[in-house]
Amino acid sequence: MSICNQEHRHWPFLGSLPHDQGGFGRHKCAGCAYELGYQAGQRRDEQIYIDLDSLPESQAGTVRHKSPHAAFAQGYYDGVHSSYNGI
C-alpha cells in the first residue's frame, strides 16, 4: 500500500473534517480524497464514485484519521463552486 507524501496532508482546513472512527477509510489520505472530489466537482460529474481502494494511506499531518468520505464531499462541493466562478 502506498503512503501519501503530498503537501495537502498539512492543509489546515482539512483538520475540521470529521474523524473516521474505525471505518474502512480511516487510514486513507483525506487530502487525496479531497482532490479527487474537487476534480469530479469541476467536471460536475453526475455519477459519483469514491474509489477508496485507489487512495494512498496517510500517516501524518492534519488529514490523519480524517473521513475520506467527508473530504471527497467537501472537495466536490468546492470543485463545483470553482467551476461556476472560473477560478
Interacting residues toward Zn ion by CB under 5 A: 4, 6, 29, 31-32
Query: What's the per-residue H, E or C state across 30-58?
Result: HHHHHHHHHHHHHCCCCCCCCCHHHCCEC
- CB 13 → Zn ion: shortest distance, Å? 14
Minimum CB separation from Zn ion for residue 55, in Å? Answer: 7
In angstroms, give the least distance from the CB of 65 to Zn ion. 13
Q: Kindly give, in sequence order, each residue whose CB lies less than 8 Å from that of residue 2, ignoring residues fewer than 6 positions away.
A: 56, 57
